[in-house]
Each structure stands twice: as C-alpha cells, then as structure tokens.
Structure 1
Amino acid sequence: MPLQQELPASNVHPMSPLAELLPPGVLAGLLRFAFGLPAPLRRLVIGRPIVLDGQRLHPEAQLLLRLQQLAGEGGRTTTPAADRTAMARSTALVAGPAIGGLAVRAVTMDGVRGRLYVPHGLADGSPLLVFYHGGGWVSGDLDSHDNLCRYLAAEAGVRVLSADYRLAPEHPFPAATDDARTAFEWAAAHADELGVDPARIALGGDSAGGNLAAVTALHAGPVKPVFLLLFYPAVDATARRRSRELFGNGFFLTDRQMDWFIDHYAPSLDSHADPRLSVLLAEDLSGLPPTYLATAGFDPLRDEGEAFADKLAAQGVPVVLRRHAGLFHGYANILGVGGVFREAVAEAVGALRTGLALANARQDIAETG
C-alpha cells in the first residue's frame, strides 16, 4: 500500500517567491521541462505516492504540487489585491499558449463586461455557453479563464460568452449573483446579435463560477438554460463536510482560504443560508436543466458538489456526476502542462456537446408535435 505523504500548506494558486522573481515565460518553460522528464526521474522528484481516502493523487498532479513545494511556497494570501496578482501570475504558468482558431471580441451586457469566443467557420444559430470564472468571488477575470474559454469554444464547436462579474469585497453578495443573471438574460435577449440559438443556451463555470451558474439557472425567468456545465462548484456555505477536513491543507485550495473567500464575499452569517449563495439548500431544484458536474478527489469542495448532484438526481434532474479521483481543485485551468488535466476538461467538452445535441433534439420534437 502506498504511503500517504504530508504536504505543507499551500495557496490556491501555484505561486511562490521564485515566481515573483523570474519572468512567467521562464517559469513556464521550467514547468514544461519538469513534466517532460522521463518517468523514473519524475518519480524521484515527487517522492512516494500520496493516497488519501482510498484515492491516489495522480502523478502529474503530485508533480505540480511538489514543484510548488520545492519553490518555497508556504504563505497564504492576505489581501484581495495579492490574491488577484497571484492568480494572474499562476495562470501564465499553467494555462498554456493561447488557443487559436477563434474570433474574440469584447461585449458589454447591461454594464457587465464580457468576452465572446466564436470558432472560425461556425455558422450563426449555434449554441452558446455563458461561462462564469472561478476565484472565490474575490479573484479571477476575463483573462484568468481566457484559455479555458478558448478551449471550450474550439473543442465543443460553440460560442462561449465569458462574464466578468463584480468581485468582493468591493462588491459583496449578492452583486456577483446579480451580474451573473444580468449576463444570462442579456445573452438571451441579444441572441440574434450574438449569432446564437436562444433555445440552446447553456450555463457553466468553475468553483465560484459554478456556484453562479447553478444559482442563475435556479432563478432564471421565462428563458431558461438547457444545460449546466459545472466544474467543482461551491454550493453550500453553511456546512463543513468530510472532504474539507481531509483535503483542506496541501492541495492548492485550503480550508483557511475557503473561510477567507466567504468572509469577503458574504460577511453576514445570515446570508450563508440564502439559496442565492448556498444553492444546495434550495428546496426545489427540479426545474434545473440536465447537468454535468465534475469534482476532484483531492478537493475540499468535493463532497458538497457531489451532494448537489445527488439532490438533483433525487429531484428528477438528469445529471452526470464525474469524480476525477486523482486531481485537485482548479484543474480546469491547467491546460499547458501535463496531460491528465486537459483530458478531464476534454471529457466535460464531450458532455457539453452531448447535452446541447439532446437539447436540440428535444426542441425538434417539440416543434414537430
């Protein structure tokens, strides 16, 4: 049986003092070099396998954590500005080169900034994915998730509209929720302008963005999303589940940071049980669309995401729950190093394509009577 290896506390972003001294391009090159080492040398770098809760951390995930440890990472974010800087720098390290084959333009949605991604040659009337970035409602922006949105658009063959909602603590709850709904409603109302089919609009997001996608779907008006694409969503601010105790230290997203994020986004304890934040607590989820929900085995958010999927299924919502047992929180943004992270996102792309195709089939059946 492989032994569990203890890792030091780490920040949610793969940042270090070294990363602040060297140009991002140099660090990205060093990362690619490390991941290109022969397997025996990589095993020497990462040490013993890490097994926890019956799961083995994937060697590529462990290598990234180990490189962070060797670089001297050990602090935690103390200010929103520092966290945003860390996220921007880490994105430059792991997101990979910008994916091409797309037309990209800025969009303004009733005061909410956005970015539209259109694969070259994609005809008008395509489906649309409205995507909300993660970052604990405190960090992240259009740039932090640019390559992920490029990947989703290019690989799924859909238009993607990324929404840059207001961040806390400058704009606490429910500002992000309000902006997320504004973006979706604007997209539905301007479908012709965007070149999309208003009957095939999906919502998606990662982490805090997954929360916003689910909340927006729950409170949608006459036009409702036809599919939900959720990467490790935060869905319950009221409970501490077992996965938070198991994986809250040493796997990027820490227990302390989760408290830090929620304290900035929703400083009032009374708001934590509000279904616009803790969507898992909503009494009726039966109106939500078919959902693909991916969790990571070594993620403090794992158990609440899976509880959300279970509740959707119990209330009759078609849902596919996929646990990537060997990965950690934030894997969807790691498209530039290793292969297992991209493979996990590729699976989600397949689910998105299938979900939108089934929505199209349902629409055709409804139109023909």
Structure 2
Amino acid sequence: MSRATAVRLSLRSRAQRSALRALGRMPGAAHSALSRAMRVNSDGERLAPEMAAIGAAAQYVPGVALMSGTVPEARVALDQSSTAMAQAFEPFAVEEDLLIPSDAGPIPATRYRVDTAGARGLIVFYHGGGFVVGSRASHDSLVRALAVASGADVLSVDYRLAPEHVFPAAVDDAVAAYRYAVSRAQDWGLDPRKTAIAGDSAGGNLSAVVAQQVRDDAIQPCAQLLIYPVADFSHERASRREFATGLFLTGEEIDYFRDTYVPSADDYDDPRVSPIAGRLDGLPPAHIVVGGFDPLRDEGIDYAEALERAGVTVTLERASGMIHGFVNMGLISPTARAVVARLGEAAAKAMDAVN
C-alpha cells in the first residue's frame, strides 16, 4: 500500500462523503426532473444537478472550496474533499512510493499497477490544483481509475508547488519525471516507447508543456491526455467571464493561482507557461477534455484547434454539463467515470499503435 496517497477522512469529510454517495444514487427520474431546472450556458448546455450541488457546496460548506484558508490549510482540505468525492478501489498489485532524482532534489512519486499480469505501458500523471494545491493523495482515485481503464502503469508525480517554488520549478520537475519514467520503464517490464503523459488543469498544462519540451528526446510521449488544461495565461476568454463564480473554480482563484505561480507577467507568453504559444507541429496525438461550465473551457478548445492546425491528431471531448474538477468526482458522477474510461481507452489505443 502507498503511504503517501492514503488520506484519513475527518469526521466532517466522512459525513460529506455519505451525503455525496446519496447524491450519486439519485434515481434517474429525479435527476431528469432536477436537470430541467438547472442553469443553461450561452451554448445551450445544461448544468448537471450533481455539479450544481458541488458548486453550491464550494460557496457555503467549509472545506469544499478549491482554496479554503491558508495555503497549507487548503492543501489539506483539497486532499480531504477530493477523497470524499472519489471512487474507492481495492488495493493494487503495485503501489510503489519512490523518489525521482533531479538537479533540484528528489521528486516524490507513486507508481501504480493494477495486477501482477503486467501492464500495457506507462502514463506519467501530473495532478491539478493551480500549481499551488493538489497532490498524489488528492488525485489517488483518479489515477487508479485511469490505470484500470488503460491497463497501463501510472506514475503520479508530486512536483514542487508555489508559492514556495514558483515557475519554472513545476516544469523542471515535470520534465525530469517524464525522462526518469522513460529511463526506468524497462526495469518495470515496460516498453519506454509506450509512455503517455496526462494531467488535469495545472497538470494538463504541465503535460502539454512536457510534450513540447521533450520533442527532441530520443523517446517522445506516445500520447498526451489533457483534462481541462490551463493553456494560455496571456488571454482571458469568454468562458472565464461566464463561469467566474458559483461553479467550484472561480475567476478570483484563477487570478490568485496565476499570480502565485508566475509572479512576473513578462513570463505569460513563455511556452513553458502558456503552451498555446509554443511550437505545436510534430507533437504526440492529444485527447483533450473540457467541461461545459468550466472557466477554462475556451482555452482548452482553442488549444485543441491550434494543435489541429499544426497537424496534430486531436480528439476533443466536451463534457457539456460538467464543472472544473469533475473527473475527481467519480463517486457522484457517471459522466466523470465515463470520461476517465475514454481517456484510458485513448491511452491504450496509442500504446497499442507503437510498433
């Protein structure tokens, strides 16, 4: 068992998990009836009732918001709330906590393998959290679901966070973790060419950046799985304004995360900050997921379109009724579970295509 990813739920979080489990078991007829009363966005999409409940809870229930209290308090709270909303899994055959060597010091990570029969390939995963919060623990259930869906090992990386470590620390760690994974793949019984990169939100940003940074390496990723990625720090799009409040991730939090991670606006156009500003031709196939009610929706769509214009094979999945962070809510959301399953299928397809 991984010690680093185990979260002991507080009494409050256990109560919240019980309430959320009941929400996830809402009868279809009740769900449909509630859906008709939900908010509709400017594109005519309707907010899912369970996502509306999370958006409301983030405003009014202690500990549910993405940023709750000080940075250390928010990190603990996100581990708690993410675990409360997550699917549960039986222990895996391999849950190996390890340290990745780097010039800046060891990078903590956990490698997961579902069973002893081996694995299809390897996914290097970078968690979300605005480059300030989030951890292997907050994303433990998501990476387990991704491992099950793909049949691959997953290496979940705890890169350095701001404000203690500002840009480019997270990028340096993300690149070092990818190169370490490739170098160790054969030791784990894997073909290093069957290594994909994945991440959500800030982790989606890091995945996109890594794909560009290692383009001249002997082994490049076979796929990039980008879940509502932060793609452009330099330009605010319409979805930022439309979904600025009441839907878990707020515009105020986005500004805080940006200013904390990248203190100088002079760096916003750096491709290591805004991957949409980078060289995109020749990059690995991308499977990109956006939420219909996510402030980051439009930049994810724009990045998908930019990749396509550069000749990259792209699958864009638009989860119409979902909010930011929804893939971490597998306990309550069938859509979240289905989206993660398709991400796993995309990874498996890319790995199987390697000759």
Partner of 1:345: 340
Partner of 2:122: 128
Partner of 1:23: 12
CA deviations on 1:33-76 (whole Å, 9 max, x unpaired) are 23334456567878822101111112332243345566477896
Distance change >3 Å, CA 38–CA 70, structure 1 → 2? farther
Q: What is the CA–CA distance in structure 2 between the aligned matches of 1:46 and 1:295, rounded to whole Å?
A: 20
Does structure 1 residue 246 correspond to structure 2 residue 236? no
Does structure 1 residue 271 correspond to structure 2 residue 267? yes
Q: What is the CA–CA distance in structure 2 between the aligned matches of 1:75 and 1:175, rounded to whole Å?
A: 22
CA deviations on 1:121-162 (whole Å, 9 max, x unpaired) are 3336x3110000000000111111111111111221101111
Does structure 1 residue 285 correspond to structure 2 residue 280? yes
| 8 Å Cα contact 1:101-1:154 kept in structure 2 | no
CA deviations on 1:87-142 (whole Å, 9 max, x unpaired) are 11211210132343432111211111110001213336x31100000000001111
- Relative to the length of structure 1, the TM-score reads 0.86
1:146-161 equivalence runs, <5 A: 146-161=140-155
Partner of 2:6: none
Partner of 2:228: 232
Does structure 1 residue 106 correspond to structure 2 residue 97? yes
Partner of 2:174: 180
| 8 Å Cα contact 1:45-1:66 kept in structure 2 | no
Does structure 1 residue 33 correspond to structure 2 residue 22? yes
Once the two structures are overlaid, the 10-residue window that deviates more, 89-98 or 301-310, is 89-98
Q: What is the CA–CA distance in structure 2 between the aligned matches of 1:138 and 1:192, rounded to whole Å?
A: 33
1:73-222 equivalence runs, <5 A: 77-110=68-101, 111-123=106-118, 126-220=120-214, 221-222=217-218
1:306-321 equivalence runs, <5 A: 306-321=301-316
Q: Which runs of 5+ in 1 are unaligned?
A: 1-19, 364-369
- Give 3-state SS (helix, strand or coil) of 1:56's partner: coil
Once the two structures are overlaid, the 10-residue window that deviates more, 225-234 or 20-29, is 20-29
| 8 Å Cα contact 1:122-1:157 kept in structure 2 | no
Once the two structures are overlaid, the 10-residue window that deviates more, 137-146 or 24-33, is 24-33
| 8 Å Cα contact 2:231-2:274 kept in structure 1 | yes
Identity of counterpart residues, as a percentage? 37
Once the two structures are overlaid, the 10-residue window that deviates more, 48-57 or 230-239, is 48-57
Distance change >3 Å, CA 198–CA 236, structure 1 → 2? same
- Give 3-state SS (helix, strand or coil) of 1:273's partner: coil
Q: Which runs of 5+ in 2 are unaligned?
A: 1-8
Cα deviation, residue 264, structure 1: 0.8
Distance change >3 Å, CA 134–CA 21, structure 1 → 2? closer
Letter matched to residue 222 of structure 2: V
| 8 Å Cα contact 2:123-2:155 kept in structure 1 | yes
| 8 Å Cα contact 2:54-2:248 kept in structure 1 | no
| 8 Å Cα contact 1:95-1:336 kept in structure 2 | yes
Cα deviation, residue 219, structure 1: 0.8
Does structure 1 residue 59 correspond to structure 2 residue 55? no
Q: What is the CA–CA distance in structure 1 between the aligned matches of 2:69 and 2:115, rounded to whole Å?
A: 42
Letter matched to residue 268 of structure 2: H
| 8 Å Cα contact 2:56-2:246 kept in structure 1 | no
Partner of 1:10: none
| 8 Å Cα contact 1:35-1:42 kept in structure 2 | no
CA deviations on 1:267-289 (whole Å, 9 max, x unpaired) are 1111111110101011x211210
CA deviations on 1:325-363 (whole Å, 9 max, x unpaired) are 1101111111112322211211222222222222x2xx2
Q: May I ask how many residue pairs the two structures share in their alignment?
A: 339
Q: What is the CA–CA distance in structure 2 between the aligned matches of 1:30 and 1:59, rounded to whole Å?
A: 14
| 8 Å Cα contact 2:51-2:322 kept in structure 1 | yes
Q: How well do the aligned residues superpose, as a CA RMSD in angstroms?
A: 2.2
Q: What is the CA–CA distance in structure 1 between the aligned matches of 2:67 and 2:166, rounded to whole Å?
A: 21
Cα deviation, residue 224, structure 1: 0.9
- Give 3-state SS (helix, strand or coil) of 1:225's partner: coil
Distance change >3 Å, CA 194–CA 49, structure 1 → 2? same
Once the two structures are overlaid, the 10-residue window that deviates more, 218-227 or 311-320, is 218-227
Distance change >3 Å, CA 44–CA 312, structure 1 → 2? closer
Q: What is the CA–CA distance in structure 2 between the aligned matches of 1:286 and 1:66, rounded to whole Å?
A: 41
| 8 Å Cα contact 1:102-1:150 kept in structure 2 | no
Structure label with greater radius of gyration: 1
Q: What is the CA–CA distance in structure 1 between the aligned matches of 2:134 and 2:55, rounded to whole Å?
A: 21
Distance change >3 Å, CA 302–CA 75, structure 1 → 2? closer
Once the two structures are overlaid, the 10-residue window that deviates more, 333-342 or 97-106, is 97-106
Distance change >3 Å, CA 316–CA 47, structure 1 → 2? closer
Aligned with 1:332 (options 323, 327, 348): 327
Distance change >3 Å, CA 123–CA 34, structure 1 → 2? closer
| 8 Å Cα contact 1:45-1:63 kept in structure 2 | no
Cα deviation, residue 182, structure 1: 0.4
